[in-house]
Chain A
Amino acid sequence: MKATQTNNLPKFAISTSKLTRQFGTLTAVDHIELRVPYKEIYGLLGSNGAGKSTLIKMLTTLLPPTSGSAEVGGFDIIKAPAEVRRHIGYVSQLLSADGALTGYENLLLSAKLYGLKKAERTVQIRDALDFMGLAESAKKLVKTYSGGMVRRLELAQAMLHKPAILFLDEPTIGLDPIARHMVWDRLQDLKHKYGMTVLITTHDMEEAETLCDQLAILHSGRINIVGKPSELCAGLGANSTMDDVFAHYAGGLINEAGSYKEIGQTRLTAHRLG
């Protein structure tokens, strides 16, 4: 199983030009120029309210930009949003698997909405369940799953239609270390085995360092720096850590940014993951 190929194989999986989003007088994303190469795990870092989630919402067509443009998989997010949606998978910061359905039913819902043919559905669902290690729990209600299982189910839903690009908004928030490492392993598999490009937002410096090929650090809606984790650490001098990099480029370790709603959603997700 390989990820779907996009129309004219552009140079970058994701590219934006002066992409901007304003909410009233607040500029959440400010003239962002982002280039994400194919088959990389690309991390977006930044303090709460830096614009990471807003950027992902625009790239996944959930939120129209105020100005600027962006292409995802070679498709314009404004002119061809349906094509963009056909070629991406998305795991939201929130816990979006339906607890009142079984794992299989959640996957079947995605398979039908993504237009998989009836014959394909069974095979793809079985493969996705096996890949995520959820085959034995497929018939159980998702509300009985552990936090790590829910996240793996959401990844299974997002990869079911073999998207070229996966968007993950803080996918390991609220997970214990073991569950977190299992999610990382699956993401590496998605990159290496299926050739998927992954754009991930995170607050976890270990995740950024070990998982991501490249990082962009946002501050106040702008990209402050882009580079490989090792380069970013080296750039600040010997013995510098990702925490130092974050503190340097994201406006300080302790910040007071982030809306009440954002914090609430983050805590709700962490709480639901147990």
Chain B
Amino acid sequence: MKRFILESSTVAEVELIKLFRDPTELIARAIQPILWLLMFGQVLAQVRGIHTGHISYLAFITPGILAQSILFTGIFYGIAIIWERDLGIVQKLLVSPARRSSLVFGKAIAAGVRGIMQAIVIYLLALALQVSIRLEPLAIIGMLCSVMLGSGIFATFSLIIACIVKTRERFMGVGQLLTMPMFFASNAIYPLELMPNWLRVVALVNPLTYLIDALRGLVTTGGETIYGYSMDFAVLFGVFFVLLFVAVKLYPTLAE
């Protein structure tokens, strides 16, 4: 276990050193959620066409935009993995005696920290837009756990796609194909009740829905989780461990 923690944290540390040494990616990734909240959110809030209960539309979509940001950042993580493979870095990692599980888990942790950076940007923006944010320690801790878990899920999923498609060109196509349907087939920008039945079924098997549900209760004052935190976290942990298992099996094939 000690080795597992050391190896995972080493992989994560290397990722984070690179990320903070050249924060261009962090800055670029922050722009999209800013646009969604500032433009889409504020315009739709004026329309009042979507019933969001006793909270404002802006408060309703803030957790959704946070989750979307995590999804978009995580789902394209595989590009970096393919790049590392093309550079020979993956081969070097796989020839080391480090466990495959710790190499994959380390990547998930690094994705989680990227997700937290996104959360900080969105929190600051939401506060500036006078969205009532929950700042109690427990709510913050719950949000951080959700963000880490969600980022881990989408980054690991992305790693699996990278292992299957193996080229950047194919990955871009598949990544584009997956992100928008996952985003729209969730409760990110409208409640599930507004969806036609078939789409609601899709949303119910979409892990993004459960991430948003947990965040909705944890991020905004007055926001509520529909399924309950136990259900949300059970689904998220379950999905994460299944993806982790598959990724650990597939990761070595990148070096073949």
A binds B: yes
Complex: A109 Cα to B98 Cα, angstroms: 11
Q: A85 is contacted by which of B3, B88, B89, B97 (Cβ under 8 Å)? A: B97
> Count of B residues near A, CB < 8 Å?
24
Q: Mark A30-60, 1 if CB is under 8 A from B, else 0.
A: 0000000000000000000000000001001
Contact call A113/B10, Cβ cutoff below 8 A: yes
**Distance from B105 Cβ to chain A, minimum over Cβ atoms (Å):** 13
Task: Answer whether residue A100 sits at the interface, using C-beta atoms and an 8 A cutoff.
Answer: yes
**A94-B87, A112-B6, A113-B10 known; A61-B21 Cβ under 8 A:** no
User: Is A185 an interface position by the 8 A CB rule?
Assistant: no
Contact B98 A113 (CB under 8 A): yes
Interfacial residues of chain A within 88-119, with CB under 8 A of chain B in the complex: 88, 90, 92-96, 98, 100-101, 105, 109-110, 112-115
Count A interface residues, CB 8 Å: 28
Q: Of A62, A82, A92, A112, which one neighbours B256 at CB under 8 angstroms? A: A62
B133 to chain A, nearest CB (A): 34
B142 sits at the interface (CB 8 A):
no
Q: For the complex, give the distance between the alpha carbons of A182 and B182 in Å.
A: 53
Cβ of B91: which chain A residues have Cβ within 8 Å of it? 62, 90, 92, 94, 96
Task: Determine the chain A residues whose CB is within 8 A of the CB of B10 once the complex forms.
Answer: 109, 112-113
Provide the B231-256 mask, 1 if CB < 8 A to any CB of A, else 0.
00000000000000000000010011
A sample of 28 cross-chain residue pairs with beta-carbon separation below 8 angstroms, ordered by A number, consists of: A57-B256, A60-B95, A61-B95, A62-B91, A62-B95, A62-B255, A63-B256, A85-B97, A90-B91, A90-B92, A92-B88, A92-B91, A94-B86, A94-B88, A95-B87, A95-B88, A96-B88, A98-B89, A100-B18, A100-B21, A105-B14, A110-B92, A112-B6, A113-B10, A113-B93, A113-B98, A114-B98, A115-B6
Since A57-B256, A94-B91 are in contact, a sample of 13 more A-B pairs with Cβ atoms closer than 8 Å, ordered by chain A residue number, is A57-B255, A61-B95, A62-B252, A63-B256, A85-B97, A86-B97, A94-B88, A105-B17, A109-B14, A113-B93, A114-B98, A157-B92, A268-B86
Binding site for A on B (CB under 8 A): 3, 6-7, 10, 14, 17-18, 21-22, 86-89, 91-98, 252, 255-256
